[in-house]
Amino acid sequence: MLLNFNLRYVFLLCMFLMLCQATLGYTLLSCSIVIFAYLFYLYKHERLSFVDGIFALSFFMNVWFVIKTAGNVYQYDYFNFYMHADYFVMNDFFVKNPKMYLSSVYFQPPLWGFIAGIVTKLMMLIGQTKEASFDFVRFVSLFAISGSSIIFWKLIKKFDIKENIALVGFAFYCFFPIHSILSGLVNNDAMIYFLMIAVIYLAYNWYLDNSWYNSILISVLLFIGGMIKFSALMVVAGLVVLILCKLMADKKNYKIILGQSFLMGFGCLLGFAWGFFLLYFDFPLVPPPQSNAFQDLSAVALSDRLFSLDTILVPFVNLRSGLLENNVWLSLIKTSLFGEWMWNNALFAYVLYVIGFVFAFIAIMSFFSLLKLKLGRDYSFNLFVIVLVFAVIISWIVFWLEYPYFCSTEYRYVVILLPLSLLWIMNWWQNISLPKWSNYTLIGLVALLVIAKFMLYLNTI
């Protein structure tokens, strides 16, 4: 089944909606007209599929979230990233005062500030204030999340997953609340997520066809990712394993494989160039915490951070009001569903909360299927996934241990686990014999997710 939406179309659509929001307004109406016209075109040419409908509806819900939360829902680090973009706007994009850069942006790699600065400057040129202009960076995040859905579907189609299971898994992916939340943020998390999924997709393609084209793209994306945020390079842990598997499986072409590997490694080194610069001058790779007393959890015992269930019945956190979550595992579930904010309509919030626990349980239980069931042509991609999962989780644990703040435990730092877990869940699902009622229950779970998310947003944003 073909997904007719592509990256170019979605990028142009996001830019069009950004201009609508900045000038004429009626952004939701414009989005509805454009998407409906495209779906009607596909229908008339007998190309419309269920996967197009799933993507279109999820895209519309993300646009709705972006527009309705703009200007009133902010991540705690909003002004850090505003300052990042403002530096480029005020200094003619690095032409003036480059020495001020480090102190201005808390040691962040420069590329995201550069991109955000371009958007801010363009919106200022059409009459928006600087503060309002920066808020339009959300449309770049919207593209990144939409693009990740397109690439995830392409990745699903690389594996022999039954069509009905693939549709259910894709729908769960598209409508999972973290995607709307990331679409509405101005920080670099959505773009890093997009780049990591793209590298995973290209890495598997490279493993299958051994092409220079894919290795060049991987190298470029690793460079771009590293220059936006160092965590993009976590995918290299799995990539190294895949390269080793490829060398063992195709010894005849080891020179070509080594050449391509060095090329990908070169992209990684270039991506970490900013990190080498910081290390050389004895600057921190991670910005030092500033004015974060309101979310400081250093006084909470490690046992409580791992096992406390005092707030398990409360589905939300509210960072600014001091409603935090000490338990790091509960923090993952809560922030994947609701972000850092309170929401209206407790009934549907609890429905989503329960779905979050069910999904976490299924993901953990089915993870061990990677030891038995092939994911793709052989077990190499299984190993890739296992290593990447542990790399992400270990990095996350080290992060919140070193920086004992609530924000360090949020799901956005491990969000790449969502597409990976759905891959092994779908593979596990089609290889076990479940009674019919179980299959219908899983399908119903996805439908309930969509309904609960819609009703929650309807009552809040």
Helix axes 417-430, 189-209, angle to 10 degrees: 50
pLDDT at 73: 62
Shared-domain flag, residues 22 and 144: yes
pLDDT of residue 16 exceeding 80, the answer is: yes
Q: What percent of the chain has pLDDT over 70?
A: 95
pLDDT tens, position by position, 149-207 = 999 999 999 998 999 899 999 999 999 999 999 999 999 999 999 999 999 999 999 99
Candidate from 203-212, 269-278, 284-293 with smallest mean pLDDT: 284-293
More confident residue, 174 or 106: 174
pLDDT tens, position by position, 351-389 = 999 999 999 999 999 999 999 999 988 899 999 999 999
pLDDT at 182: 94
pLDDT tens, position by position, 282-330 = 777 776 666 667 788 888 999 999 999 989 999 988 877 778 889 999 9
Cβ atoms of 102 and 283 closer than 8 Å: yes
Q: What percent of the chain has pLDDT over 90?
A: 62
Candidate from 250-264, 288-302, 391-405 with smallest mean pLDDT: 288-302
pLDDT at 458: 85
Shared-domain flag, residues 365 and 281: no
The residue out of 157, 184, 211 marking a domain boundary is 184
Mean pLDDT of 124-135: 90
Which among 366, 337, 395, 384 is positioned nearest to 172, based on CA atoms? 337
Mean pLDDT of 244-260: 90
How far apart (Å, rounded) are the C-alpha atoms in residues 111 and 127? 25
Shared-domain flag, residues 163 and 205: no
Mean pLDDT of 400-413: 91
Shared-domain flag, residues 171 and 59: yes
Mean pLDDT of 78-99: 78
Q: How confident is the model at residue 104 (pLDDT cuts 50, 70, 90)?
A: low
Shared-domain flag, residues 151 and 232: no
pLDDT at 96: 67
What is the extent of the structural domain holding 276?
Answer: 188-285
Shared-domain flag, residues 324 and 461: yes
Shared-domain flag, residues 94 and 168: yes
pLDDT at 283: 74
pLDDT at 138: 94
Number of domains in the chain: 3
Shared-domain flag, residues 171 and 281: no
Shared-domain flag, residues 270 and 353: no
pLDDT of residue 396 exceeding 90, the answer is: yes
Shared-domain flag, residues 278 and 310: no
pLDDT at 106: 57
The residue out of 129, 152, 184 marking a domain boundary is 184
Shared-domain flag, residues 305 and 280: no
Shared-domain flag, residues 265 and 323: no
pLDDT at 159: 92
Across the chain, what does the average pLDDT equal?
Answer: 89
The residue out of 152, 184, 216 marking a domain boundary is 184
